[in-house]
Chains A and B, each alone.
Chain A
């Protein structure tokens, strides 16, 4: 179906970006920048409009889907037809075999992503009004944030991989700009650059993966998600890609695409940038590095589920990498002292869960976790931001404690987030994480399940530790700072409340224990259903749901209890230097070291050699030629007399000799 309104979705925040950008630029000279009211109003208005539009679209989509479903049931058909609104805009480029259109497409997956992207996006714009109120560059900040939103919308709304790539790089750019927002500190700039660079490595994988995919599809298939899906859903094609060189091509393609996902979603091996990215302002961490951008890898896998299920090896790799990342990051989160770092590693770990789910073929479970995670991780970050804000920029948990009474609202919101992420009954994480554990049990084998459940325990441990250190333990706050602790303004509180409620309630979108509530799965079914069915086959046996549930709950409760035992009694041992112990540090920076050895040092060494050896060598060569010419010059100058007549006479004699020689030779040859 054609829908003429899709283009408005990204353009609205883009307008917000332009207005705020121009405001910021035009008032750069003035002493306090543009009016906060104006820029704030603009910044919230446009994302909100976008949110409203996506709500309306989603409502329409559900309506259309329901009516089509009804028709199909009436006709006795058993089809899950994709309802898709498309808006092809123009031909991007069309050269040789490369025909790429620029357009948007909207289906259930996009709809769900857009709902929470624009929704949480709007809330975080609102939150930023309060958080950045005292910053000189708040209009610039809001402009970047709006630009990010526009790009993120393009990412999920694109009708083909290349339009997605446009948004994909765009969000990377905004992430760069926002991480390095306080650019006077060079460390922030370095973190921003690292994020962009590491992402670029993934993006190269993405591009190459697309090339391979294109190779498989051939030039006649339109290079849109629709075209790709339909091609791969054709059983004849599936048989073809299952074997021989095409299978190898497909494996290469999917692995490279997955590399792109690991870059964006901070999975092994490209995960080092996300913890560093915490250098950015906290709203950024909440929106970009927790709720939206980092989940775009999972989104892409869901988008191309039909492609990925055709490459079983890649699916295994995804599952293993997801599990490994989840475990590694959970362990890392366990030893951090910076509140935002804990949350960052927690994000990495949760993303690992999502990839694990996708890897075992449960695309809808993975995406559901994306959905719930967006709520509870956003609220955790915003809560952390609120704490940091209240403490005047303090991020070290060793200098917090006892804040539950001082910041009741923040505490309540973070409690909701904590409740959700540890997987306590009824919270958002309870539903989605259990779903993933269940699917892992069913399709992933016991080893992955053990890793996953162990990670769940660890998650409960480190999150509880965070809550203890910040809220429940006796106060270790600097008395001078403690004096000024205050609850945040309403613009920050409102998002906290909404998101806190969301993290408690979002799970009910697919409460698989409650019969009949499977809204989420039903909505997504047309998009990822065929792929899942292909991999899982008809569900012959039912999992031991009760046992799995019990195990999951035990993990959560066990972790919490363990954490109380470990940290409540002994409080926190402070090391003198304030640094992490060596082993923890090594573990935390494991992949940074790997990157250094594998990529950074070799590049530096080669470029040093080229610059210091090759270039001088070439220069030397040029000089050598120059010297040779000069030497010849000296030689010939030495032949000259300083008498004009002699010189002329000599040249005349020379001419004479040549003439004579010529004649002689002529004579002799005759």
Chain B
């Protein structure tokens, strides 16, 4: 009840930044994926926090949005991990710096 929206948002921002750092800074594909997950979580938190500033039923829209985010995250993890496996099996490596064939 008394938790301030700003604190929630700040927490979300920090988690987002951490997720981004993991997604961008790490070379291991696992960390990239997990960083993305963390960012999604931060976004969810932000959704919920903002939803508390709306009156009446419209606040519930903010509650429903994370539901979809979770669903999409599940799909993303599903496909992402499958791709990761096939990449690993092709390349024997999970180092993103090894993957530079896209430009060719």
Contacts and interface: CB of A to CB of B under 8 A. Distances in A.
Binding partners A and B: yes
Interface of A: 637, 640, 642-645, 648-649, 652
Contacts of A649: 24
Interface stretch (B46-54, B77-85, B95-103): B95-103
B103 to A, nearest CB: 5
Nearest to A648: B24
10 contacts: A640-B102, A642-B100, A642-B103, A643-B96, A643-B97, A643-B100, A644-B96, A645-B96, A648-B24, A652-B20
Contacts of B24: 645, 648-649, 652
Given A644-B97, A645-B24, 8 more contacts: A640-B102, A642-B103, A644-B96, A645-B25, A645-B27, A645-B97, A648-B23, A652-B20
Main DSSP-derived SS at the A contact region: helix
A640 B97 CA distance: 14
Contacts of B103: 637, 640, 642
Which 10 A-B pairs give the minimum distances between C-beta atoms? A642-B100, A644-B96, A642-B103, A649-B24, A640-B103, A644-B99, A645-B96, A648-B24, A643-B97, A652-B24
B22 to A, nearest CB: 11
Interface of B: 20, 23-25, 27, 96-97, 99-103
A639 to B, nearest CB: 10
B92 to A, nearest CB: 17
A131 to B, nearest CB: 78
Contacts of B20: 652
B82 to A, nearest CB: 18
A652 B102 CA distance: 19
Nearest to A649: B24
Nearest to A653: B24
Contacts of A637: 103
Considering residues A637, A645, A649, which has the most beta carbons from chain B within 10 angstroms of its beta carbon?
Answer: A645
B69 to A, nearest CB: 18
A652 B39 CA distance: 13
A645 B25 CA distance: 7
Nearest to B97: A643
Nearest to A640: B103
Nearest to A647: B102
A125 B26 CA distance: 98
B30 to A, nearest CB: 14
B40 to A, nearest CB: 15
B39 to A, nearest CB: 11
Contacts of B27: 645
Contacts of A642: 100-103
A643 B103 CA distance: 10
Nearest to B20: A652
B27 to A, nearest CB: 7
Contacts of B101: 642
Contacts of B23: 648
Contacts of A645: 24-25, 27, 96-97
B48 to A, nearest CB: 22
A644 B103 CA distance: 11
A651 to B, nearest CB: 10
B3 to A, nearest CB: 26
A263 to B, nearest CB: 68
Contacts of A644: 96-97, 99-100
